[in-house]
Amino acid sequence: MSEIFMEGFVRPFYNALILILAAVPGADLGIAVIILTILVKVLILPLSKKAIESQIKMREVQPDLKKIQEKYGKNKEEVYKRTMALYKEKGVHLFSGCLPLLVQTPIVMGLYFVFYREVAANNPALLYSFVHATATIDPVFLGLIDLTNKSIILAVVAAVAQFFHTKISLPSPALTQSEGKLSFSEEFTRSMNVQMKYVFPIIVGVIAYVVSGIVALYFATSNLFSLFYELWVRRSKKSV
């Protein structure tokens, strides 16, 4: 693993988890995982909000893009010019939603590695000088789910939350009114949306189940937080 990634993400998150464990009654690992995951998600809210707002703008211009396609579909150059003009008018930046997601990736991966590997290893070498190792760690979440084992319940929650989050995030391409069918680009987009909506949640659920209960809890917490936050942002935009 890269030394920069380890020192910049994994080690800080591992120490934060140990500090939280020391404050959690009974050193419940599950509660500590939830708290740390939510804290990190809150810290990156500005990035998440920017990505969501970009998705909302893209969804809002879909009807206008459809009209451009119907009117100038045979003139590719004109379609491009009018599309770029529309984006400029509506304040849509094609890659504005990608950058926040790229920035979040190492953060998410850092948390994943902490929960997947470092907690099980109980690695005191990663601790800062001011952080003391926890004498005991209770891996049984709320006295019900052993996070060191597989958990079908948490895996299902993670997959279902991922499904609904993906569902509200992805726009559905409409039929071209003049032709009554989808263009190649629309067909491709719809195919990708279907895969993202149905296949990706299954992959998340399988990984969450196969790896361990602690990773499943992390996925479930992260996906539920993202789902409810995006719903809140979208509702706030509508009420403005």
Q: Which domain covers residue 218, as residue numbers?
A: 3-239
Residues 162 and 201: beta-carbon distance below 8 Å: yes
Predicted structure pTM score: 0.75
pLDDT attached to residue 187: 62
pLDDT per residue as tens digits for the range 85-141: 888 777 776 665 566 667 667 877 888 888 877 676 677 788 888 888 776 888 888
User: Residue 128's CB: how many other CB atoms inside 10 A?
Assistant: 12
Look-up of token digits 């120490």 = 15
Residues 6+ apart with CB under 8 A from 21: 27, 29, 32, 134, 137
Look-up of token digits 């409409």 = 174
State the Cα–Cα distance between residues 29 and 236, nearest whole angstrom: 34
Asked if the model's pLDDT at residue 180 lies above 60, the reply is: no
Q: Which of 14-18, 23-27, 153-157 has the highest mean pLDDT?
A: 153-157
Confidence of residue 206 (pLDDT cuts 50, 70, 90): very high
DSSP lists the bridge partners of residue 141 as 145
Asked if the model's pLDDT at residue 174 lies above 50, the reply is: no
Selection from 168, 238, 226 nearest residue 45 by Cα? 226
Q: What's the chain's average pLDDT?
A: 80
Residues 212 and 33: beta-carbon distance below 8 Å: no
Q: How many domains does the chain have?
A: 1
